Structure 1
Amino acid sequence: MSRLRKQRNDIAHVQQANGALSHSNGFYDNNGDAHAQKANDTSLLSNGFHDNNKEATKTDETTGIVHMIDFLLNKFVLPICMIIFLPIISIFLWYTNTHCEGSFKILYSRVQDGSSFGLLAQILGNMSIFNKFTCSVVFGYFAWALFWMKVLPGKTVNGPMTAMGNIPVYKNNGFLHYGVTMVGFAILTLVLKQYGLSPTIVYDRFGELLVFINVFALVFVLFLCLKGLYFPSSSDSGKTGHGFIFDYYWGTELYPRILGIDIKVLTNCRFGMTIWPLLVCTYALKSYELHGFVDSMFVTTVLQLIYITKFFSWEAGYMHTMDIIVDRAGWYICWGCLSWLPEIYPLVSQYLKANPVRLGWPLAFTILVLGLAFILINYQADLQRQQVRSADGQCLVWGLKPEIIRAKYMNDGGQENESILLASGWWGVSRHFHYMPEILLSFSWTAPVGFVNLLPYSYVIYLIILLVHRSFRDENKCRRKYGRYWQEYCEKVPYKIVPFIF
């Protein structure tokens, strides 16, 4: 296969990874070779099992219909619906939390009095979106993040080679950036308190900030889309081939950089994942100012901050995940990290500020211990895989020699490589085991709110949908990459996430 043809196929695989329809149901064999399947079908036809003309026509018609449905749903309808409605949903989540006592029932009653778009117009009409406060907070934070990204030291780390032969290079200073930012927030709080002020004004005016960052993110993604088409940072760029809507949604560039700044690191890590703990601390401070010490707020704050700290301690590993190496820098990733994440990820803390729940120390301690246990299990699962691969399988997992599969695959340069698939320890429980403690942890930091309203569980529900969808995407990617070795792994570890269930 020529290099050009291979590049086109690789790009097609990336685009297919985002589709909601699975392409593993007979269109590909274990090696992901559609041509082998087609050759086999042709052989059967030539042996007289089918009428050549009629069956070929039926196959072509069926394939054409499948492709048309795939394009309409996954490349147009779903993207445009998400682009239109998710920003609106994020605003309604904030409104429900702060103006409807965290109750969807109250929100529904207000929508019944008019219409959802009428209520949205009323919400936006009561806001001053473009003002000194919103501009100074958002752009001031971006200036802070960009400054420390450049100034802080860090070890140089490489990402995996791309389909076009490029190797992204990063400065691994995420943990330092996180630490400096959290210390800076503490100092800012102390200084403001001396003048009778508080950073909790961010909570008081968060609606304005949320709408402002939504508008900013939508425009910024358009800029990235055009940049990838006309001023790309590397050869891993270009149109998706599915129209402008999908170009905007999925992105036109895998690793965009502006003045040496990696855009994905900026949006995903330095903005999204760093704004999350800042908002958690802001909501906790606001709660303390109004209600004093509340044990439920303490539990959810501690669990979220420890989880986020673990993320930044492992940020270099994040550069090898699907978010970075598969998903382009479009609306799906960049708008999500800039606008969706700041509202839905710290949603529980936002809810508890307005609806304090006093658990009592026995229940609070139990939930805290369970949450910490899920963090530890998640950490151990990642550590097991790293240790087995770094030791080339010559180590112990749970006191036993690890059960491994040495999976051979062809890299983008056409050379044969080998990767270790761990099939014991936590990775013998399920193929994507690390998703399970993440879901249970999110439930742990949400459970302190009780079960009066569904709203605070929005993040748990969203996370389940996200990780289940991601498990299918990852399965397709691994099946194409490892072929029969992945099939062997699936036979040894038959469950995707939850043993005996899924």
Structure 2
Amino acid sequence: MAEMYHAMGGKSFLGGTLEMWWSSRPKDSLVPCVVLGYMAFALVLMVLLPGKRFEGPVTANGNIPVYEDNGFLCYVVTMATFVVLTVILKAYGLTPTVIYDRFDEVIFFLNAFSLVFCLFLYLKGVYWPSSSDGGISGNPIFDYYWGTELYPRVFGVDIKVFTNCRFALTVWPILVVLYNLKSYELHGFVNNIFISSVLQLVYTTKFFWWEAGYMYTLDIILDRAGFYICWGCLVLVPSFYASVSMYLVKHPVHLEPIIAFLILSCGLASICINYWADLQKQRARETQGNCLIWGRKPKIIKARYTLHTGEEKESLLLVSGWWRVARHFNYFAELLLAFCWTVPCMTLNFAPYAYFVFLTILLVHRSFRDEQKCSRKYGHYWREYCHEVPFRIVPYLL
């Protein structure tokens, strides 16, 4: 042991082992090891960490997906583990910001992995479907793109929960923190990237606190597990959603304190409104409208619909609170938030605003998709709701 200690330059066994691996590993193995290692780590947490059992909405074929609400715990453990690993690496002169330096390799690997993964999902849906909520169109290209299953599971692991939540929406905040570390290494403390990152981290933390509600959104109840959603979660989210922070690494701006405070306050208010709106809908559904929203009993529309099996069901359409302002007012709060974490760039360069433009198009398009689905599902009940709440996202504008 003493000889090993001296051979490692007097460093501890852990430190020497880290440095030996770091210097002796094949150069091209780092990115695959990091990505696949994280995926394995996320899967272990997803399976082992406890959580309350809850049910998603019933499907058109009468199936009810079942989940384990351990998303917030997985998120906290993951972020804490990242901090601990960063401290350990820094103690031995290493840094996780090598991922920033080699991010092009990360995206290349994720692209290659996702293409193969989506092919696996296509074949699984054709030959080994998890439920009756799926099927094929007869066009293999379309089925590969759109997916063949709505809720695929492999050895009990829900694929969409893993790709959407345990990978995409967890890697996003990890990258935001990593870009802050890189910025600090290059420039010291810069408040524009700090403010942008705080807003993104609060938003993602809020998401995992509310993750059970996400299982009622279009991403889960309408989009199948194919290239469209899985490639987006495995490649687009890591590369694009954190792109503002990546841009700010090389474009530091020291904001005036009052400007920084106003941007941060506006962004935090947007997060609160977004969460408040989701909470209002959740409480109204859980209590069947027997609650108070803005100090009074909410107005609801009891919309009945029929499953493909012929069974009749009922949903509540909330016509109070933020849902009285616009049918998708929560989208406006998300857009305002995205603008707040982008505007610290203080530039006319289009690059950092690309995500905001993309999100605007995405949410407007999603609002139309959602309303088409609701119109088909609820019929005259939806028309009644649209009469009560005439604005789609922004009152008097959209």
TM-score by length of 2: 0.91
Q: 1:451 & 1:178 partners in 2: Cα distance?
A: 33
Q: 1:396 & 1:130 partners in 2: Cα distance?
A: 60
- Contact 2:289 2:300 (8 Å CA) reproduced: yes
Range that drifts further, 407-416 or 137-146: 407-416
Matching residue of 2:120: 223
> What's the Cα RMSD here?
1.4
Q: 1:192 & 1:408 partners in 2: Cα distance?
A: 57
- Contact 1:405 1:422 (8 Å CA) reproduced: yes
Matching residue of 2:271: 375
Range that drifts further, 258-267 or 335-344: 258-267
Counterpart pick for 1:444 among 324, 337, 340: 340
Q: CA deviation at 1:412?
A: 4.2
Q: Deviations over 1:442-478 (max 9, x none)?
A: 0000010013311101111111111111111110111
Q: 1:298 & 1:396 partners in 2: Cα distance?
A: 37
Counterpart pick for 1:188 among 85, 92, 107: 85
Counterpart pick for 1:256 among 145, 152, 158: 152
- Contact 1:295 1:360 (8 Å CA) reproduced: no
Q: 2:298 & 2:121 partners in 1: Cα distance?
A: 44
* Larger RCO, structures 1/2 (Cα 8 Å, 6+ apart): 1
Q: Give 1:298's aligned amino acid.
A: F
Matching residue of 1:271: 167
Q: 1:259 & 1:216 partners in 2: Cα distance?
A: 20
Q: 2:223 & 2:285 partners in 1: Cα distance?
A: 25
What secondary structure, in the 3-state scheme, does the structure 1 residue paired with 2:329 have? Answer: coil
Matching residue of 2:14: none
1:51-450 matches, within 5 Å, as 131-241=28-138, 243-450=139-346
Q: 2:352 & 2:60 partners in 1: Cα distance?
A: 41
What secondary structure, in the 3-state scheme, does the structure 2 residue paired with 1:131 have? Answer: helix
Q: Give 1:435's aligned amino acid.
A: Y
What secondary structure, in the 3-state scheme, does the structure 2 residue paired with 1:405 have? Answer: strand
Q: Give 1:180's aligned amino acid.
A: V
Matching residue of 1:122: none
Matching residue of 2:374: 478
Q: 1:293 & 1:381 partners in 2: Cα distance?
A: 35
Matching residue of 1:63: none
Q: 2:221 & 2:375 partners in 1: Cα distance?
A: 17
Question: Residues 158 and 130 (structure 1 numbering): CA distance in 2 closer, same or farther, change over 3 Å?
Answer: farther
Q: 1:232 & 1:415 partners in 2: Cα distance?
A: 23
Identity of aligned residues (%): 61
Q: 2:35 & 2:145 partners in 1: Cα distance?
A: 23
Q: CA deviation at 1:292?
A: 0.8
Q: CA deviation at 1:409?
A: 2.0
Q: Deviations over 1:165-185 (max 9, x none)?
A: 322221211101000000000
Q: CA deviation at 1:244?
A: 1.3
- Contact 2:203 2:271 (8 Å CA) reproduced: yes
Q: Give 1:263's aligned amino acid.
A: I
Q: 1:169 & 1:357 partners in 2: Cα distance?
A: 47
- Contact 2:31 2:106 (8 Å CA) reproduced: yes
- Contact 1:174 1:315 (8 Å CA) reproduced: yes
Q: Give 1:145's aligned amino acid.
A: A
What secondary structure, in the 3-state scheme, does the structure 1 residue paired with 2:247 have? Answer: helix
Q: CA deviation at 1:353?
A: 0.3
Q: CA deviation at 1:401?
A: 3.0
- Contact 1:175 1:315 (8 Å CA) reproduced: yes
Q: 1:238 & 1:388 partners in 2: Cα distance?
A: 34
- Contact 2:61 2:309 (8 Å CA) reproduced: no
What secondary structure, in the 3-state scheme, does the structure 2 residue paired with 1:401 have? Answer: coil
- Contact 1:158 1:167 (8 Å CA) reproduced: yes
Q: CA deviation at 1:489?
A: 0.8
- Contact 1:229 1:237 (8 Å CA) reproduced: no
Q: Give 1:404's aligned amino acid.
A: I
- Contact 1:130 1:212 (8 Å CA) reproduced: no
Q: CA deviation at 1:377?
A: 0.7
Q: 1:364 & 1:191 partners in 2: Cα distance?
A: 32
TM-score by length of 1: 0.72
What secondary structure, in the 3-state scheme, does the structure 2 residue paired with 1:349 have? Answer: helix
Q: CA deviation at 1:130?
A: 9.4
Unaligned runs of 5+ in 1: 1-128
- Contact 2:150 2:223 (8 Å CA) reproduced: yes
Number of equivalent positions? 373
Q: Give 2:226's aligned amino acid.
A: G
Question: Residues 415 and 164 (structure 1 numbering): CA distance in 2 closer, same or farther, change over 3 Å?
Answer: closer
Kindly name which structure, 1 or 2, has the bigger radius of gyration based on alpha carbons: 1
Q: 1:140 & 1:236 partners in 2: Cα distance?
A: 31
Q: Give 1:211's aligned amino acid.
A: F
Residue 355 (structure 2) pairs with residue 456 (structure 1): no
Q: 1:152 & 1:389 partners in 2: Cα distance?
A: 28
